[in-house]
Amino acid sequence: EILAAIAGFFAEGAAPKPLAGRRAVVTSGPTHEPIDPVRYIANRSSGKQGHAVAAALAALGADVTLISGPVTLADPPGVRVVRVETAAEMLAASLAAVQTPAGPADIAVCAAAVADWRVATAAGDKVKKGPDGPPTLALAENPDILATLSQPGPRRPRLVVGFAAETRDVLTYAAAKLAKKGCDWIVANDVATGTGTFGGDDNQVHLLRRDAAPEAWPRLSKTAVAQRLAQAIADTFDPSATATSEAV
């Protein structure tokens, strides 16, 4: 019994659960915006980074709901997964998961690459080639999920984290996004052609927080980026946690 208690103590030490009792909602993957029943507008997000964040938060003890666009990834273990296709569906599912009768989730991480635009009027039947030449696609702006979840008030999560994927001037655009969306942190990454970030297993990010200098993280696996982000989130909710585990 003493040995079991000691083993239990060290097992707990090996896998601390600083986010136990916290509820987190993570969005991940692309959205698909229909043009007609067979065609759609998509983006290159694989969902790997968002899914890894969901897994990492769950590993630290959080109760995680993952709102996932169309991806080919396995569901992360120990995570509730809600599957959606369009940005409108992702917003509805995110609001339902964040704003519960029991109060808002503690943490929202918007890692999905939500389409900025949908096709204004999706066709009910397949659009055919015709004598008038190619059609023109009129687009309409999609709802902004990150800005919506960041709106101040009693239904706002205490910590709202967004992701910014840019092909140039990454820090400039990310700082502007942080200011404009009203979220607390932005994880900014460079997805320019040749970086291999989209669909790849590695990521090189900057973490931008309100009222703090941007942190440049080294190139890491998406799993390691997620674990570091989850730990930073845990530290925010309980600043003593890291100090204690370091002291041990």
Note the residues at the interface with its own copies (CB under 8 A). Answer: 32, 35, 37-44, 72, 113, 115-117, 120, 125-126, 128-129, 133-141, 165-168, 173, 191-193, 198
Question: Which amino acid appears at position 119 of this protein?
Answer: V
User: Smaller CB distance to its own copies: residue 22 or 118?
Assistant: 118
CB of 228 to its own copies, least distance (A): 24
Which one of 43, 142, 189, 203 is the catalytic residue?
A: 43
User: Smaller CB distance to its own copies: residue 124 or 152?
Assistant: 124
- Residue 144, exposed/middle/buried by CB under 10 A (0-12, 13-18, 19+)? middle
Long-range contact pairs involving 174-181 (C-beta distance under 8 Å, separation at least 24):
174/206, 174/208, 174/214, 175/208, 175/214, 178/208, 178/210, 180/147, 181/144, 181/146, 181/147, 181/150
User: Smaller CB distance to its own copies: residue 30 or 61?
Assistant: 30
CB of 226 to its own copies, least distance (A): 21
How far apart, in whole angstroms, are the C-alpha atoms of residue 206 and residue 163? 10
User: Smaller CB distance to its own copies: residue 142 or 227?
Assistant: 142
Is residue 203 annotated as a catalytic residue, yes or no? no
CB of 205 to its own copies, least distance (A): 16
CB of 56 to its own copies, least distance (A): 24
Ramachandran category for residue 44: left, alpha or beta (phi over 0 → left; psi -120 to 50 → alpha): alpha
Q: Any idea which residues carry the catalytic annotation? A: 43
